Amino acid sequence: MTTDPIHVFAHQAMNTTFEVRIATTDGAYARQAAQECFAEITRAEGRLSRFDEASDIAAINRLAPGELLAVDQDTVECLRLAFHLLHHTGGAFDPTVGQAVDLLKAGSAASAAVEPGDHHARRGRLLVAGDAAVVQVVDGPVRLDLGAIGKGFALDRCVQILDDWDVSRALLTCGGGSTAVALDGPCPGRGWTIGLDQREIALERRAISASGHAVQGQHIVDPRTGREGNRWCRTWAIGDSGAASDAYSTAWMNLELEAIQAVCASVPGLTGAVLPHEGADLLIVGTPLAENPEDVRPGPGPDASLTPVDGVYGIPRAPHP
């Protein structure tokens, strides 16, 4: 099957590399559309990065209890989604763990000394106005960190831009593919081929995000305890948006498989995948994953399709060629 040429464009932002792949015969038009995406990513970084002193998030982190702040509408939308996912994951994902993440990255003994229940008690709360782009801090300071949702949120905004540009066959990635958002596949009947541990899946009009410690080291905190989230070696979430997949893959690092399965069961189209340890079989719960027929790798026996057992898919690791 032939496809249009795939044009690849890259941009540095949010301390990582964003890439836009567009399948089209018009390379000049693809470049213009990609540049619009990169401009939006830069704008998102200026609003959502806690490391940018001029950003909305940095300004919120400086608020004293009782103070109000007008912020960009996109900031409000990202915060609302983040707090929705906080509640939906039972606190396994939490955008207010900035201080705990810093302690963990610094290797501070203080992060290991937090007792269960104390971590939340030491933090303030953020109120978001229902009909205005205004936030207020109460009951103490907050330390927002949108690193586990901001990149996916920026990619979702790029999807809207590409739709406005009538670009339908595209793949958006960041962090070397740690998060990917797919529009239509590069040609009819074929999704974008994405790696999932030792497997490949077909992604079309869906998003995938991965979490783990292999690349960034210790940087995932269990918000419920303040300690390192290391229940799994690596995790993946596949869903309808980059932002949600980003947050869910982080939450999976802090949840038992049964809890991940319960979350996936409550969200149509959501899939969770976990790797218990290097060399283990990949465990998948939720919506079954698609594969491009020509990309399916041989598994044990004549039928390599996935067979559900109590809602959990066990995928043997593909043999090395």
- For residue range 81-97, what is the model confidence (pLDDT) as tens digits? 999 999 999 999 999 87
> Are 271 and 287 contacting, i.e. CB atoms less than 8 angstroms apart?
yes
Helix%, strand%, coil% for the chain, nearest 5: 30, 25, 45
Q: What is the pLDDT of residues 96-138, one digit of tens each?
A: 875 555 555 556 544 444 444 444 444 678 888 867 789 999 9
pLDDT at site 2: 61
Say which residues have a Cβ less than 8 Å from residue 224's Cβ, sequence separation at least 6. 91, 92, 116, 119, 120, 254
Whether the per-residue pLDDT at 141 is higher than 50: the answer is yes
- pLDDT(242) > 60: yes
Tell me the mean pLDDT in the region 176-192: 92
What is the predicted pLDDT for the residue at 23?
96
Residue % of the chain over a pLDDT of 70: 79
The DSSP secondary structure of 179-218, one letter per residue, reads EEEE-B-SBTTB-EEEEETTEEEEESS-EEEEEESTTT-S
State yes or no: pLDDT of 176 exceeds 90.
no
Looking at per-residue pLDDT, the higher value among 171 and 118 belongs to: 171
| Lowest-confidence pick of 23-37, 199-213, 234-248 | 199-213
pLDDT interval class at 291 (50, 70, 90): confident
Binning pLDDT at 50, 70 and 90, where does residue 197 land?
confident
What's the pLDDT score for residue 188? 87
Q: Is residue 53 within 8 Å of 185, Cβ to Cβ?
A: no
Per-residue pLDDT, 214: 54
Per-chain mean pLDDT for the chain:
83
Query: What number is the average pLDDT over the span 246-274?
Result: 96
Among the listed ranges 68-82, 88-102, 194-208, 234-248, which one has the minimum average pLDDT value?
88-102
Residue 155 confidence (pLDDT)? 98
Asked whether residue 315 carries a pLDDT value surpassing 70, the answer given is no
297 has a pLDDT exceeding 50: no
Handedness of CA 305, 308, 311, 313 (dihedral sign): negative
Over residues 16-45, the mean pLDDT reads 97
Given a contact cutoff of 8 angstroms between Cβ atoms, the answer to whether 165 and 39 are in contact is: no
CATH architecture of 56-138: Orthogonal Bundle (1.10)
Per-domain residue ranges of the chain: 56-138
Cα–Cα nearest to 193, from 291, 317, 46: 291
The candidate with the shortest Cα–Cα distance to 94, out of 56, 143, 136, 45, is: 143
**Which pLDDT band, with edges at 50, 70 and 90, does 3 fall under?**
confident
The proportion of the chain whose per-residue pLDDT surpasses 90, expressed as a percent, equals 63
Residue 13 pLDDT exceeds 90:
yes
Q: Which residue has the higher pLDDT, 183 or 318?
A: 183
Mean pLDDT of 294-299: 40
At residue 1, the pLDDT reads 55
Is 240:206 a contact under the CB 8 Å cutoff? Answer: yes
Give the integer Cα–Cα distance in Å for 13 and 17. 6
